[in-house]
Amino acid sequence: MKKNILVIDDQLDLAESVGSFLATNGYQSHYCISTAEAQTLLKKEHFDLIISDVVMPEQSGIDFFMSIKEDLRKNQTSFILMTGDLDSISMQKAYDLGVDEFISKPFDLDDLKNVVGLVLRQADPTIDQQKFFRVSLTEFIQSSANRFDIFLQIDSNFMCLARKGQELSDARLQNYAKKGLKYVYLTAADYTKYIDIQFSISTLVQSKPLEQVKKQKLFTHLTKTISTSAYCEHMNSEIFKKALTSFENYSQIAFSHEDIFKILESMSSEGHDLADHGAQVSFLSTAIAIHWKWTHPKILSKIAMAGLLCDVGLRVTPELFVRNRTQFDPQHVKQFENHPYLSYEILSTIKDIPEEVLLVAQQHHENEGGFGFPQRLMKEKLHPYSRLIHGVSEFFDHLDSAGSKSDIQKALEQLYSFQRKTISLQVIKTLFIIFGIDVPKDMTGILLPYETSRMI
């Protein structure tokens, strides 16, 4: 059955044109020029949606909404306000009163169609349902100065909330967050712009069904590896949740890229657990970055990707050797110490891979004392992401068989006692903090790096 919509606007031509546009888009529609007329119509029939102007001579749209609010609730009628001059505070107030949506005048008819579809939860058949990338809504509000095509997922359909260029106010987005919405969705093209990684779009959106299943399987496996790891239980739960969401978001882009997926697949096949290790490093590095408020998507996505991929060079190193390198001869040691070069070589074959990811691949075993490998670089030459990921990898070396909080404490104390000259003290201190373990007294003066503007 067609949804029934009532349009109220004191400008007859506008009421009429909105009414007829809705009628040509599969709705039943009525229009009138005053709320008094609307009252009469409401007595006669049921409407699924009322679209009302705000400023009208006899009664404002907001007053009208308040006067019939109870009936609207009972009859399950939605309410959209059309307005040209409502500031964000008034808009927030109207949302708090219970208005479902706003549409700014003058509006594009396609925007009207999107908002109506959204409120009535009617999917747009022209939207391809396969190509969306998820972004945390709160993170999006904080970070996005750009305007993208923004979609919401409602009843398993992706619906357009705003088209490019349409002013989507923070008040409107915050209203969605308030209502409990956690994510918005972007197209592949916009997502790569959003995280500032310009992968070729064609490789992002073309994937055969079978590969899709493989990808999903590996993605689920890695996410599960992280969330079921014993150390996570002892982590600050707020940071854990944020880091897991970030890891899922940013690894999604990695999985959607054919070349990267092949690399990840090779890291997890034939007895190698390099992808699992990469996922752990990626996740914990992301958690630390979040604690440092390095939450800009450009930063988090690069850290997540670098952590995930930096050990791909070990793919050609015998597994046993990776696990226990001290028992091997100098030739093997050399081979091991060359893996950052190999990682760099493998990753640099990926078109458009971010520069920082390549840098971390080369530098993730360099240390702050200047005697890491393969280049023995001094601290000043190390990229902040490399110092972060190096510290996290070393932490996992100590945590191999640890599960309890005292195991974590022991690993951290070892890091602090024996590697304080080579691992970033900021990383060590943050690990103490996010695992809720008392920071050693002589570390209390160490400042954490909350400044990010230089790195974007």
Residues that bind Fe ion (CB under 5 A): 311
Q: Is 369 exposed, middle or buried (0-12, 13-18, 19+ CB in 10 A)?
A: middle
253, 287, 400, 429, 433 from 445: Cα distances, Å: 38, 22, 30, 10, 14
CB of 341 vs Fe ion, minimal distance in Å: 11
Structure tokens given for 387: 């110092």
For residues 9 and 311, which CB has a smaller minimum distance to Fe ion in the complex? 311
Q: Report helix, strand or coil for 281.
A: helix
State the residue number with the nearest CB to Fe ion: 311
What is the DSSP annotation of 23-88? Answer: HHTT-EEEEESSHHHHHHHHHHS--SEEEEES--SSS-HHHHHHHHHHHHHHHT-EEEEEESS--H
CB of 318 vs Fe ion, minimal distance in Å: 15
For residues 166 and 393, which CB has a smaller minimum distance to Fe ion in the complex? 393
CB of 299 vs Fe ion, minimal distance in Å: 21
For residues 16 and 273, which CB has a smaller minimum distance to Fe ion in the complex? 273
CB of 340 vs Fe ion, minimal distance in Å: 6
Q: How far apart are CA 252 and CA 228, in angstroms?
A: 19
Question: Which residue in 401, 399, 455, 400 sits closest to 431, CA to CA?
Answer: 399
For residues 144 and 419, which CB has a smaller minimum distance to Fe ion in the complex? 419
- In which element (H, E) is residue 414 found? helix 405-419
Structure tokens given for 241: 């949740």
Most distant CA pair in the chain: distance in Å?
Answer: 91
* Amino acid present at 112: L
CB of 186 vs Fe ion, minimal distance in Å: 32
Name, in order, each residue with C-beta under 8 angstroms of 414's C-beta and a sequence gap of 6 or more. Answer: 398
For residues 114 and 363, which CB has a smaller minimum distance to Fe ion in the complex? 363
Other C-beta atoms closer than 10 Å to the C-beta of 13 total 8
- The order of strands in the sheet holding 49-53 is 28-32, 4-8, 49-53, 78-83, 101-104
CB of 281 vs Fe ion, minimal distance in Å: 9
For residues 111 and 311, which CB has a smaller minimum distance to Fe ion in the complex? 311
CB of 364 vs Fe ion, minimal distance in Å: 5
For residues 248 and 311, which CB has a smaller minimum distance to Fe ion in the complex? 311
CB of 393 vs Fe ion, minimal distance in Å: 6
For residues 296 and 339, which CB has a smaller minimum distance to Fe ion in the complex? 339
234, 306, 345, 374, 384 from 371: Cα distances, Å: 33, 22, 22, 9, 17
